[in-house]
């Protein structure tokens, strides 16, 4: 019977760690917000994706690009900055305030 009591205590510890995990999610959502008050990035495709690797072509499509000269205005978030960092040789980036 003492094993059952120990199991309940372990379950209590697990639920406490779940609560701290929930707090981590709120921190993650705060990082997803724009870094500057409403700042945007204007991303323009400057080179063709024909010779690029398939993952790089997919990144161009995810950025809303597909043709040379096409532009897209996106929120300034870490996710977008990361995608732009994967294809810097194919795009030009401008900050739009």
Q: Which residue has the higher pLDDT, 91 or 12?
A: 91
Q: Which residue has the higher pLDDT, 59 or 3?
A: 59
At residue 27, the pLDDT reads 46
Q: Degrees (nearest 5) of the Cα angle 62, 67, 73?
A: 50
pLDDT digits (tens, 9 = 90+) for 18-49: 444 455 554 444 444 545 567 999 999 999 99
Q: Are 43 and 71 in contact (CB under 8 A)?
A: yes
Q: Please tell me whether residues 48 and 26 are part of one structural domain.
A: no
At residue 34, the pLDDT reads 47
Domain with 4 in it:
1-31
Q: Please tell me whether residues 9 and 51 are part of one structural domain.
A: no
- The number of domains in the chain is 2
């Amino acid at each position: 019977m003492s094993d059952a009591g120990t199991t309940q205590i372990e379950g209590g510890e697990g639920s406490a760690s779940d609560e701290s995990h929930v707090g981590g999610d709120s921190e993650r959502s705060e990082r997803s917000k724009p870094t500057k008050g409403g700042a945007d990035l204007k991303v323009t495709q400057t080179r063709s994706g024909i010779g690029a690797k398939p993952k790089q072509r997919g990144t161009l499509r995810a950025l809303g690009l597909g043709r040379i000269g096409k532009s897209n205005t996106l929120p300034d978030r870490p996710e977008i900055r990361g995608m732009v960092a994967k294809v810097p040789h194919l795009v030009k980036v401008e900050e739009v305030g």
